[in-house]
Amino acid sequence: MFNIKDKIAIITGGNSGIGRAIVNVFLEAGAMVHVLDINRPSEDPGLLPDLIDHDCDVSDSSEVNDTIQEIANAHPIDILVNNAGIAHVGNVENTSDEDFDKIVDVNIRGVFNCSRACIPHMKERGGVILNMASIAGAVGINDRFVYSMSKGAVLAMTYSMAKDYVGHGIRCNSISPARIHTPFVDAFIKKNYPGQESEVFSRLSATQPIGRMGSPSEVAHLALYLCSDEAAFITGTDFPIDGGFIKLNGE
């Protein structure tokens, strides 16, 4: 239904969680997918000729430039999904310089590096950039100071790039998930709340008015639509996928 057949898509952080779900959905929809990630897939993908994995640190501009150029030398770039990101728990007082810099390097500089490298290759024929933001960038969440700051920056970059490059046929949007049930969530709960996993999972799930966490597949299918030809009239917009978190909490 959503047309990305034979499109060339670059997905950062595509070897786990939401990123891996996006990779799988895009492959099913007929795209050729290049994954940029410093982590190896948790499962052996087998022989997938339409999936090419690149060991690339998105916070390193030289690595990004070299990798994107290598891809562009082989074929046009149609889609960039800036999904790579890391989380942090803490408020402004207990956020260290090192943690602050690490979040900025991956969550902000990573989007900057990859977008800057891809846009010149898209300007002649158009393309799509989709950034992974978060509800944390739009509303306050306890103990997520630097993470929220970084996702607010992703929103601002989305709007700015959409305005700057709409005349070149480049669309730029973002997705803002609430809590999504990924292996990261399970590992976080197990590490910080040993023996209370079930209780904490239920409590976190209940923060979405719909009563559960989202699934990576649900985010991936929204990403598919926004990167498809059917979404050709959409740019400069953020799409919350949050189980009602932003609009329904507190009402």
The set of catalytic residues is 147
Of 163, 125, 98, 132, nearest to 12 (Cα)?
132
Nearest Cα neighbor of 79 from 113, 118, 51, 111 is: 118
User: What end-to-end distance do the CA atoms of the chain give, in Å?
Assistant: 36
For residues 6 and 76, is the Cβ–Cβ distance under 8 A?
Answer: no
How buried is 123 (Cβ within 10 angstroms: 0-12 exposed, 13-18 middle, 19+ buried)?
A: middle
Q: Is residue 78 within 8 Å of 127, Cβ to Cβ? A: yes
